[in-house]
Structure 1
Amino acid sequence: MLTSLAPSACAAPAVERSVLLQRLDATLQPERFQDYGPNGLQVEGRAQVRHLVSGVTASRELIERAIAAGADAILVHHGLFWRGQSACVTGWMKQRLALLLAHDVSLLAYHLPLDAHPSLGNNAQLAQRLGFSPLADGWGRFGEQDLGFVGHTDCPDALSLAAHVQQQLGRPVTLIDAPGRPLRRIAWCSGGAQSYFEAAIAAGADAFITGELSEPQTHLARECGVAYLACGHHATERYGAPALGAAVAAELGLTHQFIDIDNPA
């Protein structure tokens, strides 16, 4: 049986849900982005928040574990509602919503704004995890809505870069190599950003990192001589939500917990 009681969370001071939402919106500025779904408060729970749980995707397992951990609000990158999906509340959607509503837990979701944030976002945090360094004038940006990042790596070639990424992210990497090409500029965009590859090439990248690989990118990599690394959608987007959650929780005096639901995708 699920419970929403956690002693450590109960001891924390309460903050109005509206204050948490304002802080998140002020940090990520979602109004700047054209996105695939609503950013911000997707499901309204109790008015006061003490314990904030962050995760990557608003799956049923994350919701169940957050409730068991005493969450008043859940902060995710992938929310429940997307443009073009069915509006019917049935099946898995009913199950997830029923849990949130029965336990009065808020769901807050930020998609592209969380990818793009210059320090707390998925791409900035991925760069920190992988030890990339900025260009002389800071992180370069490319692609639609400037979601892609450009910087430097100490890895001399694509093979050593792939081995380094695999070690740091803890999952296999699919590499389309460009043999003999030294790495001077590296571009990356977390998640399913394979369509950004051509923009990365135009930005002067010697290698491109993202989460997924589609059929056309193999040919582009071979023909353009730019290495392509598919490192996992989930694996490349595990770091923004906990960084944002921890930062906002510390600022507002909330307790925070990141719950990672394993996903091989």
Structure 2
Amino acid sequence: MAERDTLLADMNGLLTPQRFRDYTANGLQVEGREEIKRIMSGVTACQSLLDEAVAWRADMVIVHHGYFWKNEPVAVTGMKRRRLATLLQHEINLVAWHLPLDAHPKLGNNALLAERLGWQIEGVLDGEMGQGLLYHGRAGGVAHDALAARMTERLGRQPLVIAAHDRPIERIAWCTGGAQDMIAEAAQAGVDAFVSGEASERTTHMAREMGVSYFAAGHHATERDGIRALGQRLSERHGVEHRFVDIDNPV
């Protein structure tokens, strides 16, 4: 068992949310009970995850995608009301970590994606959009088809591939989730390929005209490892139970 504020202090010290210009509130978003025995982690605080938390009697839910996004409607109605009612009725704490969890050098989504796919991290391109999020490194001179096959095997999702050339991929840059427009900064760094989660209509033309092959490996698929690793760390350090629940999402 651990105190909520102790867990929050640990996470704040680890993830340093004050360093980021984010689109949402990082940290405690909905307050629940003070004593924490069970923590459930998941990518997004959707109703399905909350229902799993209620059934498991979780005291805290930690996610990568929480609530209260910039420019969203403020009225607590419909889906938002049902989600908040579930948390409040069962006194479950909701804690969300967005950009800070992407950027962390050990527990972050970007670092763990490299580990999962066997890339050598060389550094971070911290340009106008970067905020310490745009990683770069070496992919080992792999062919496009081989890299796509590795992603399919290790992420459980076949990527969308926009091949801008037929060279082997040695230098690679990546940022998980919805960071497809960072391809412009990746191109300036002279990489062979850029990897993120999603693609927009414009991404095809940007990739082709900049000469950087693009792999959309799945927003959800590329952002599962960070929140799971954070939950496991809390369990090991504070003696609480942890369970990661993967709510299927093809995007």
* Superposition TM-score tier, normalisation by shorter sequence: over 0.9
Q: Secondary structure at the match of 1:154?
A: strand
Q: Distance in 2 between matches of 1:98 and 1:165?
A: 38
1:47-86 alignment runs, 5 A limit: 47-86=34-73
Shift of 1:163: 1.4
What is the aligned counterpart of 1:174 among 150, 160, 168? 160
1:1-265 alignment runs, 5 A limit: 14-135=1-122, 139-143=123-127, 144=129, 145-265=131-251
1:4 equivalent in structure 2: none
For this pair of structures, how many residues does the alignment match?
A: 249
**TM-score (norm: length of structure 1):** 0.91
Shift of 1:180: 2.6
Q: Distance in 1 between matches of 2:73 and 2:164?
A: 42
**C-alpha RMSD of the superposition:** 1.1
Q: Secondary structure at the match of 1:134?
A: strand
Question: Which moved further from structure 2: 208-217 or 53-62?
Answer: 208-217
Shift of 1:218: 0.9
Q: Distance in 2 between matches of 1:250 and 1:100?
A: 25
Higher-strand-fraction structure: 2
Q: Distance in 2 between matches of 1:140 and 1:44?
A: 35
Shift of 1:155: 4.8
* 1:156–1:183 Cα contact (<8 Å) kept: yes
* 1:56–1:241 Cα contact (<8 Å) kept: yes
* 1:51–1:254 Cα contact (<8 Å) kept: yes
Q: Gaps spanning 5+ residues in structure 2: where?
A: none
Q: Which runs of 4+ in 1 moved over 6 A?
A: none
Q: Distance in 2 between matches of 1:156 and 1:61?
A: 38
Q: Gaps spanning 5+ residues in structure 1: where?
A: 1-13
Q: Distance in 1 between matches of 2:209 and 2:85?
A: 50
1:99 alignment partner AA: T
Q: Secondary structure at the match of 2:29?
A: strand
Q: Secondary structure at the match of 1:261?
A: coil
